[in-house]
Amino acid sequence: MADERAGTPRRLGELERAVMDVLWTRPEGCTAQEIVERLAARDGGSELAATTVLTVLDRLRRKDFVDRERAGRAHRYRAVSSRDDVVAASMLAVLETTDDRRSALVRFAGAVSPEEAALLRAALAELEE
Amino acid sequence: MLADAWPLAVLAILLGWPIPVFLARAVWPRRHPRAAIALWQAVGIAGGLSLIGAPLAIGVAPLDGQLRNGLAELARDAVHLRVPEALGLGQETALALAAVLTLRLVGVTLLSALRIERDLRRQRNAVDLAAEHADRQLRVLEHAAPAAYCLPGTRTRIVITEGTIAALAPDELEAVLAHERAHARWRHELVVQPFVAWESALPLPPAHRATAAVTALVEMLADDHAVRAVGRPALARALVAIGGTAGPVPHQRAAGAVAGAASTPTLDRVRRLVRPGVPTLPERLVGPAVWLAAVLLVAGPTWFVLR
* Amino acid identity at B5: A
Q: Do A61 and A118 fall within a single domain? A: no
Q: Is A1 on the interface with B (CB under 8 A)?
A: no
- Are A99 and B215 an interchain contact pair (Cβ–Cβ within 8 Å)? yes
- Are A72 and A121 in the same domain? no
The predicted-structure confidence for B207-266, as pLDDT tens digits, reads as follows: 989 998 998 899 999 999 999 999 999 999 999 888 765 433 333 333 333 333 456 788
B129 close to A (CB below 8 A): yes
Domain that holds residue A97: 83-128
| Nearest Cβ partner for B116 among A83, A104, A121 | A104
> A122 touching B, CB under 8 A?
no
Which domain range does residue B224 map to? 5-248+259-276+283-306
Q: Do A91 and B126 touch (CB under 8 A)?
A: no
C-alpha to C-alpha distance for A17 and B26, rounded to whole angstroms: 48
Looking at the fold, whether A63 and A11 belong to one and the same domain comes out as yes
Strand pairing class (B138-141; A30-31): unpaired
Cβ of A124 and B274 within 8 Å?
yes
In sign, the C-alpha dihedral spanning A102, A108, A112, A118 is positive
ipTM: 0.81
Nearest to A112 among B128, B211, B243 (CB): B243
In this predicted model, what pLDDT tens digit does every residue of A1-32 receive, in sequence order?
444 444 455 588 899 999 999 999 999 999 99
Residues A33 and A61 in one domain: yes
CB B216 within 8 A of CB B30: no
pLDDT on residue B14: 96
Query: Measured between CA atoms, how close is A46 to chain B, in angstroms?
Result: 23
Q: What secondary structure does DSSP assign to B136-182, as a single string?
A: SSEEEE--SS--EEEE-STT-EEEEEHHHHHHS-HHHHHHHHHHHHH
Q: B119 in contact with A at a CB cutoff of 8 Å? A: yes
| B178 vs A: CB within 8 A | no
User: Based on the domain organization, do A71 and A98 belong to the same domain?
Assistant: no
pLDDT at B244: 60
The verdict on A106 touching B (C-beta cutoff 8 Å) is yes
- A75 and A87 part of one domain: no
Contacts of A69 (CB under 8 A, 6+ apart): A29, A75, A76, A78
Count the domains in chain A.
2
Q: Does A83 touch chain B (CB under 8 A)?
A: yes
Provide the whole-model pTM.
Answer: 0.86
Q: Are residues A39 and A57 in the same domain?
A: yes
Domain count, chain B: 1
| Shortest CA distance from B125: residue in chain A | A63
Could you tell me the pLDDT band of residue B57, with boundaries at 50, 70 and 90?
very high
Q: Would residue B253 count as lying in a domain?
A: no
- Judge whether A96 is closer than 8 Å to chain B, CB to CB: yes
Domain stops at, among A38, A53, A79: A79
Environment class of A20 (CB within 10 Å of its CB; exposed 0-12, middle 13-18, buried 19+): buried
B139–chain A Cβ distance below 8 A for any pair = no
Chain-wide mean pLDDT for chain A? 81
Contacts of B242 in chain A (CB under 8 A): 108-109
Name every residue whose Cβ is closer than 8 Å to that of residue B301 and which is 6 or more positions away in sequence: B8, B11, B46, B49, B50, B53
CA distance B217 to B214: 5
Structure confidence at residue B263 (pLDDT): 66
Window 179-198 of B: residues touching A by CB (8 A cutoff) are 179-180, 183, 188-189, 192-193, 196
Domain end among A79, A96, A117: A79
pLDDT one-digit tens code per residue, B275-306: 877 777 788 899 999 999 999 999 999 999 88
Adjacency order of strands within the sheet including B148-151: A106-107, B148-151, B157-161, B138-141, B132-133
Q: Please state, as a whole number, how many other Cβ atoms lie within 10 Å of the Cβ of residue B89.
A: 7
Residue B130 near chain A (CB below 8 Å) = yes
Q: Is the pLDDT of residue A45 over 80?
A: no
Distance CA A63, CA A56 (A): 11
Q: What are phi and psi of A77, to 5 degrees?
A: -105, 140
| B233 at A interface, C-beta within 8 A | yes
Q: Are A109 and A91 part of one and the same domain? A: yes
- pLDDT of B28-49, one tens digit each? 999 999 999 999 999 999 999 9
Q: Is B108 on the interface with A (CB under 8 A)?
A: no
Q: Which residues of B touch A2 (CB under 8 A)?
A: none
Does A63 share its domain with A122? no
- Interface size A-B, in CB pairs within 8 Å, comes to 185
Which of B128, B158, B179, B264 to mutate: most A Cβ within 10 Å?
B264
In a domain, B296, yes or no: yes
Shared-domain flag, residues A95 and A69: no
Taking the Cβ of residue B134 and every Cβ of chain A, the question of whether any pair is shorter than 8 Å is answered with: no
| A14 and A74 part of one domain | yes
Q: Pick the residue with more confidence: A70 or A102?
A: A70
For position A28, which CATH number holds? 1.10.10.10
Contacts of B248 in chain A (CB under 8 A): 91, 95, 111
Q: What is the mean predicted confidence (pLDDT) over B101-112?
A: 93
Boundary-marking domain end, from A39, A57, A79: A79
Distance from CA of B151 to the nearest CA of A (A): 6
| B253-284 burial: b if 16+ Cβ within 10 Å, else e | bbebbeeebeebbbbbbbbbbbeeeeeeeeee
Q: Which residues of chain B neighbour A86 with C-beta distances below 8 Å?
A: 126, 129-130
Q: Closest approach of chain A CAs to the CA of B256, in angstroms?
A: 9
